A and B are shown apart, each in its own frame.
Chain A
Amino acid sequence: MHKIKVAIIGSGNIGTDLMIKIIRTSTLLKMSVFVGIDPKSEGLARAKRMGVTICDTGVAGLIKMEEFNHIKFIFDATSAKAHHYNYSKIKAFSDKRMIDLTPAAIGPFLVPPVNFNSIIDVNNVNMVTCGGQATIPMVAAVAKVAKVYYGEIVASISSKSAGPGTRANIDEFTTTTAKAIESVGGAEKGKAIIVLNPAEPPVVMRDTVFTLSEQKDKEAIKKSITKMALEVQKYVPGYHLKQEVQFDDIPEDKPVFIEGLGLRHGLKTSIFLEVLGAGHYLPSYAGNLDIMTSAALAAGEKLAKINSETTK
Chain B
Amino acid sequence: MSHQIYIQDVTLRDGMHAIRHQYSKKQIKELAIALDKSKVDAIEISHGDGLAGGSFNYGFGAHTDWDWLKGIAEELNHAVLTTLLLPGIGTIEDLKKAHGLGVRSVRIATHCTEADVSQQHIEAAKKLGMDVGGFLMLSHMIEPKKLAKQAKLMESYGADCVYVTDSAGALLMNDVADRIKAYKDVLDSETEVGIHCHHNLSLGVANTIIAMQHGATRLDASLAGMGAGAGNCPLEVLIACLNRMNVKTNSDLYQLMDLADDKIRPLQERPVRVDRETLSVGYAGVYSSFLLHAETAAKKYGLDTREILEELGERKMVGGQEDMIVDVALDILAKKEQAKTNL
Given contacts A167-B117, A208-B57, contact A154 B323 (CB under 8 A): yes
CB-defined interface of B40-80 with A at 8 Å, one 1/0 digit per residue?
00000000000010111100111110000000000000000
Q: Is the CB of A174 within 8 A of B116?
A: no
Most chain-B Cβ atoms within 10 A of its Cβ — which of A195, A198, A272? Answer: A195
Of B91, B119, B330, which is within 8 A of A244 by CB? B330
Q: Does A23 contact B (CB under 8 A)?
A: no
Bound CA–CA A167/B110 (angstroms): 12
Q: Does B113 contact A (CB under 8 A)?
A: yes
Q: Is the CB of A159 within 8 A of B55?
A: no
Bound CA–CA A159/B57 (angstroms): 21
Bound CA–CA A258/B119 (angstroms): 29
Q: Is the CB of B60 within 8 A of A206?
A: no
Bound CA–CA A85/B63 (angstroms): 40
Q: Which among B232-240, B265-273, B313-321 touches the partner chain?
A: B313-321
Most chain-B Cβ atoms within 10 A of its Cβ — which of A164, A167, A206? Answer: A167
Bound CA–CA A8/B113 (angstroms): 31
Q: Which residues of B contact A152 (CB under 8 A)?
A: 55-57
Interface of B is mostly: loop
The size bracket of the interface on A is 35 or more
Given contacts A243-B327, A256-B60, A257-B62, contact A170 B87 (CB under 8 A): yes
Q: Is the CB of B320 within 8 A of A193?
A: yes
Of A159, A171, A244, which is within 8 A of B120 by CB? A171
CB-defined interface of B120-146 with A at 8 Å, one 1/0 digit per residue?
110000000000000000000000000
Q: Which residues of A contact B327 (CB under 8 A)?
A: 206, 208, 242-243, 272
Which residue of A has the minimal Cβ distance to B60?
Answer: A256
Q: Does B326 contact A (CB under 8 A)?
A: yes
Q: Which residues of A contact B111 (CB under 8 A)?
A: 195-198
Bound CA–CA A167/B115 (angstroms): 10
Q: Is the CB of B57 within 8 A of A210?
A: yes
Q: Does A83 contact B (CB under 8 A)?
A: no
Which residue of B has the minimal Cβ distance to A259?
Answer: B64
Q: Is the CB of A258 within 8 A of B120?
A: no
Of B60, B317, B326, which is within 8 A of A246 by CB? B326
Q: Does A220 contact B (CB under 8 A)?
A: no
Q: Is the CB of A197 within 8 A of B317?
A: yes
Which residue of B has the minimal Cβ distance to A260?
Answer: B64
Q: Which residues of A contact B323 (CB under 8 A)?
A: 154, 156, 206, 208, 210, 270, 272
Kindly provide the distance from the CB of B228 to the nearest chain A CB, expressed in whole angstroms: 17
Q: Does A168 contact B (CB under 8 A)?
A: yes
Kindly provide the distance from the CB of A170 to the nearest chain B CB, expressed in whole angstroms: 5
Q: Which residues of A contact B275 (CB under 8 A)?
A: none
Q: Which residues of A contact B62 (CB under 8 A)?
A: 257
For chain B, residues 181 to 211, give those with C-beta under 8 angstroms from any C-beta of chain A.
none
Q: Is the CB of B318 within 8 A of A195?
A: yes
Q: Does B88 contact A (CB under 8 A)?
A: yes
Bound CA–CA A196/B117 (angstroms): 9
Q: Does A120 contact B (CB under 8 A)?
A: no
Kindly provide the distance from the CB of A288 to the nearest chain B CB, expressed in whole angstroms: 13
Q: Which residues of B contact A210 (CB under 8 A)?
A: 55-57, 323
Q: Does A175 contact B (CB under 8 A)?
A: yes
CB within 8 Å: A-B pair count: 109
For chain A, residues 132 to 176, give those with C-beta under 8 angstroms from any C-beta of chain B.
152, 154, 156, 159, 164, 167-168, 170-171, 173-175
Q: Which residues of B contact A257 (CB under 8 A)?
A: 54, 60-63
Q: Which residues of A contact B316 (CB under 8 A)?
A: 197, 199, 203
Q: Does A194 contact B (CB under 8 A)?
A: yes
Q: Which residues of B contact A154 (CB under 8 A)?
A: 57, 320-323
Bound CA–CA A196/B330 (angstroms): 23
For chain A, residues 181 to 237, give those with C-beta under 8 angstroms from any C-beta of chain B.
191, 193-199, 203, 206, 208, 210, 212
Q: Does A5 contact B (CB under 8 A)?
A: no
Q: Is the CB of B55 within 8 A of A167?
A: no
Q: Does A268 contact B (CB under 8 A)?
A: yes
Which residue of A has the minimal Cβ distance to B47?
Answer: A259
Q: Is the CB of B54 within 8 A of A259?
A: yes
Bound CA–CA A91/B92 (angstroms): 30
Of A168, A196, A198, A206, which is within 8 A of B88 by CB? A196
Kindly provide the distance from the CB of A152 to the nearest chain B CB, expressed in whole angstroms: 5
Kindly provide the distance from the CB of B20 to the nearest chain A CB, expressed in whole angstroms: 11
Bound CA–CA A156/B88 (angstroms): 10
Given contacts A210-B56, A257-B61, contact A159 B88 (CB under 8 A): no
Bound CA–CA A159/B91 (angstroms): 20
Q: Is the CB of A171 within 8 A of B318?
A: no
Which residue of B has the minimal Cβ distance to A198?
Answer: B113
Bound CA–CA A199/B316 (angstroms): 6
Q: Is the CB of A156 within 8 A of B91?
A: no
Kindly provide the distance from the CB of A82 to the nearest chain B CB, expressed in whole angstroms: 15
Q: Which residues of B contact A268 (CB under 8 A)?
A: 56
Q: Is the CB of B315 within 8 A of A168?
A: no
Q: Is the CB of A197 within 8 A of B321?
A: yes
Q: Is the CB of B321 within 8 A of A270?
A: no
Q: Which residues of A contact B61 (CB under 8 A)?
A: 257
Q: Does B304 contact A (CB under 8 A)?
A: no
Bound CA–CA A194/B89 (angstroms): 7
Of the A-B pairs whose beta carbons lie under 8 Å apart in the complex, a sample of 22, sorted by A's number, is: A152-B56, A156-B320, A156-B323, A167-B117, A171-B87, A171-B121, A174-B88, A191-B55, A195-B111, A196-B111, A197-B111, A198-B111, A199-B316, A203-B316, A206-B323, A206-B327, A208-B57, A208-B324, A212-B56, A243-B331, A257-B61, A270-B326
Further pairs besides A197-B318, A243-B326: 12, Cβ < 8 Å: A154-B321, A154-B323, A167-B117, A171-B93, A175-B91, A195-B318, A196-B88, A197-B111, A208-B323, A242-B327, A256-B56, A270-B326
Q: 8 tightest A-B contacts by CB? A: A208-B323, A199-B316, A210-B56, A195-B320, A198-B113, A171-B91, A194-B88, A256-B60
